[in-house]
Structure 1
Amino acid sequence: MVEPIEPRLILFTDRRQAERPLDEVVAGAIDGGARVVVLREHDLPPRRRLQLAAALRTRLDQVGGSLLLEEDGALRKCHGLEELFAAAGEGFRYVTLSPIFATRSKPGYGPPLGLAALGRMAVVAPVPVYALGGVDTPARVRDCLDEGAAGVAVMGAVMRADDPARLVKELLTA
């Protein structure tokens, strides 16, 4: 079995930040090159969430992408080195490290770790690290990759974007 190529960008959903229907925003992001989408939306009624997941999965299947349900355990959110090692030991395939920069999505989540901390942790982490939190410009993506991140994880910037396809394409070409 061939292992899939690791994505450069992981998209988290948050319909509360989107100014259009979530499926439309995600479709635009997929058109821009997003191939891994993490469905959050825990407060949706179960039937509606399943319908949304099915629609997104169908769209991602068309481009060889993957839909992850946040609760499925394929991805872990980490905030320090100890959590990165624990996630690797538990077999997580993707981990995020956050927040790297100040973020509008979760402003009270704690002080940003910064690029230097990302670099120190990404180099020694036994699992690919995706920078999350305020990674909303091509320059910030480049900075994170230069520090050793396997890629970036984004949410609010794409959810709020006038043109999610264009933004994702710009982030992926960084």
Structure 2
Amino acid sequence: MRRFDLSVYLVLDPGLCAGIGMVETARLAVQGGATIVQLRDKDGGTARMIETGRALKAALAGSGALLIVNDDVEAARVIGADGLHVGQGDMTPAEARARVGPEMLLGLSVESPELARAAPPALVDYVGAGPVFATPTKPDHKQPVGWDGLAAQVAACPVPAVAIGGLKAHHAAPAKEAGARGLAVVSAICGQPDPAAAAREIARAWAAV
């Protein structure tokens, strides 16, 4: 059984992180309490993903935080990442699991109770549920579902869910009330003047509810 903590799930954005870079953002965020770091770079290509991922893995070594790669199986395997996260249009969970093997975590994005219900627990370890609110960090996201929509997705899902979509520290209580196991955030940490303090605020807010 793969063990993981979804409470403070950082999704890296190369544009927002440009000031200090994705690696330093992740290192500081983990210092502050981020439990999972997802490398997402839709325009980077596999070679750049591997380069960044190796640097992230070195920076996070010994911290206990897990490194997840978005969408790129080859990069995840070469890096030796802790997991892979795929969207509905990337590949099927069966294909993803076959390609990464039994040991890696596998995350799946869902946007409705029907998709959440269809997540196969024998293959998928967790889902990213939402989007709760609209967010400019993913302009092609589905229609925001709000807290009721999140609760419906979580209730339908056979595996743990992390809430995503425009979330900040003050959303910890309603997200937990909806059944989510954590907050997935982008701009709440990426591009902030102090990523460690930003992550710490989210971690404390989650622990307090």
Tell me, yes or no, whether TM beats 0.5. yes
- Cα 1:104–1:141 change in 2 (3 A) is farther
Amino acid in structure 1 at the alignment position of 2:38: V
Q: Which portions of structure 1, spanning 4 or more consecutive aligned residues, are displaced by more than 6 angstroms?
A: none
Single out whichever of 117-126 and 42-51 deviates more from structure 2: 42-51
Amino acid in structure 2 at the alignment position of 1:96: G
Q: How many percent identity over aligned positions?
A: 28
Unaligned stretches of 5+ residues in structure 1? none
Aligned to 1:7: 6
TM-score for the superposition, normalised by structure 2: 0.74
TM-score for the superposition, normalised by structure 1: 0.88
RMSD between aligned alpha carbons? 1.9
Aligned to 1:84: 116
CA distance in 2, matches of 1:91, 1:165: 33
Please state if 1:145 is matched with 2:168: no
- Cα 1:104–1:43 change in 2 (3 A) is closer
Single out whichever of 15-24 and 3-12 deviates more from structure 2: 3-12
- Per-residue CA deviations over 1:11-67 (Å, capped at 9, x if unaligned) read 111111223211111111111111211111143253332121111112223112211
Single out whichever of 103-112 and 57-66 deviates more from structure 2: 103-112
| SS at structure 1 position matched to 2:151 | helix
Q: Which protein has greater RCO, CA pairs closer than 8 Å, 6+ apart?
A: 1
Aligned residues: 172
Single out whichever of 162-171 and 34-43 deviates more from structure 2: 34-43
Unaligned stretches of 5+ residues in structure 2? 72-83, 86-105
* CA-CA distance at 1:131 after TM superposition: 0.6
